[in-house]
Amino acid sequence: MSDVPYRELYWWEHYPLHKWWCNDICPIVPRFKYTNGNEYNTNNWYLHWLIFHIWTLDHVIIGADVEVSLNNLYVGFLLPYIRIRVGISHYYTKWTYKLDQLISRKPAKTLDWS
């Protein structure tokens, strides 16, 4: 028995070279996901293609945001019931992890709880 938890593969993971044409950062083939609503949740959908991320929200909000960080670079817009984000997200690699560890503040070495 393996200690690795089992998860069902997405449809694109059954094809060879799927990490090249349908990767997490900038997929060439659009990713679409639809979730049926139930008594507690509404119907939701999500689309990710190239640098565009669009998904539904459960509330009305209007706004805009920009994020520039080690693992995100995007411009986002909040419209009633929809969220649009244009940019690259979650490109956390080994060098960005090491850079993040280098520039992050270190916690105190000892804590006195007495």
Segments making up each domain of the chain, as ranges: 11-103
Asked if 73 and 86 count as a contact pair (C-beta separation under 8 A), the reply is: no
Encode the chain (114 residues) as per-residue pLDDT tens digits: 567 677 777 776 777 776 777 777 788 888 889 999 999 989 999 999 999 999 999 999 999 999 998 778 899 999 999 999 999 877 767 777 788 788 888 776 666 666
Residue 55 burial (CB count, 10 A) = 14
Distance between CA atoms of residues 5 and 14, nearest Å: 18
Is the pTM here over 0.85, yes or no? no
The token duo for 86 is: 């244009």
The token duo for 30 is: 């659009």
